[in-house]
Amino acid sequence: MTDAEHRRDGDRGKATLRETRDRGRMVRRRNVAAVALLASLAACVSTKANQPPSSPSIPTTTVSMGQRVETTAGNIVVVYSLLPSVGKAPGANMVLVAADVQACAGAHPTTVTGVQRTLFVVETPDHHAWPSVAAVKKPELKPALFAKPKQCERGWVTFSIPQAQKPAYVVLNSSALVKWRIP
């Protein structure tokens, strides 16, 4: 029991206030001590040693629309065309665009060789990458794993972009970064 619980009802309020004030001082002292300890530890730490190592850069290739590209993993990808408007997208002033994409396994596919729409984005001139959305244009590019060499999948990948933006590139972000320039 606290001191306040041992007293009569009339004195209880004062004891609670006093105990609360004393607890508050203890908490403030503890907080000040913790901040001082953290500041002294931070002064002893070298920030150079705590920085993450630089990540290896992904090779980037920029090509014309319709050009066939072999990725660093040996797979073949082509973006044939981009339709500038296939419908109105949800959101203010957004429009749907669609890219005709084909991906094929190279000579030595692995158990993870494949394609899916989420590997593609549309880049606008302001360097903003717009991810793919649920397909509107059919036939859509279906997710596929390639078990055999030269196995392919082709279909449309849909993107939602601002109506005022003209797409600059369709980008594959996989074992390589490939940008197909939109004429």
Same domain, 44 and 71: no
Q: Note whether 119 and 141 are within 8 A (CB).
A: no
Whether 64 is in a domain gets the answer yes
Looking up residue 134, the CATH number of its domain turns out to be 2.60.40.1240
List, run by run, the mean pLDDT of 10-residue segments along the chain (183 residues): 48 47 52 40 32 58 97 93 95 96 95 95 97 97 95 98 96 92 96
Same domain, 69 and 117: yes
- For 102, phi then psi, to 5°, come to -130, 135
Considering the domain architecture, whether residues 33 and 99 belong to the same structural domain is answered as no
Query: Is residue 55, in this structure, part of any structural domain at all?
Result: no
Domain that holds residue 8: 3-50
Tell me, yes or no, whether 163 and 109 share the same domain: yes
State the Cα–Cα distance between residues 19 and 73, nearest whole angstrom: 70
* Cβ neighbours for 30, distance < 8 A, ≥ 6 positions apart: none
In a shared domain, residues 71 and 118: yes
Q: How many domains does the chain have?
A: 2
Residue 71 falls within a domain, yes or no?
Answer: yes
Question: What pLDDT is recorded for position 58?
Answer: 74
In a domain, 27, yes or no: yes
Q: What is the pLDDT of residue 12?
A: 47
Answer yes or no: do 108 and 151 share one domain. yes
Give the per-residue pLDDT at 24: 52
| 89 and 161 within one domain | yes
Q: How many angstroms separate the CA atoms of 80 and 130, rounded?
A: 19
Q: What pLDDT score does 175 carry? A: 78
Whether residue 32 is found in the same domain as residue 90: no
Query: Would you say residue 155 lies in a domain?
Result: yes
Q: Is 79 within a domain?
A: yes
Looking at the structure, tell me whether residues 158 and 140 fall in a common domain: yes
Which residues, at least 6 apart from 65, have a Cβ–Cβ distance to it below 8 Å?
79, 80, 81, 82, 170, 180, 181, 182, 183
Asked if 64 and 8 sit in the same domain, the reply is no
Residues 18 and 71 in one domain: no
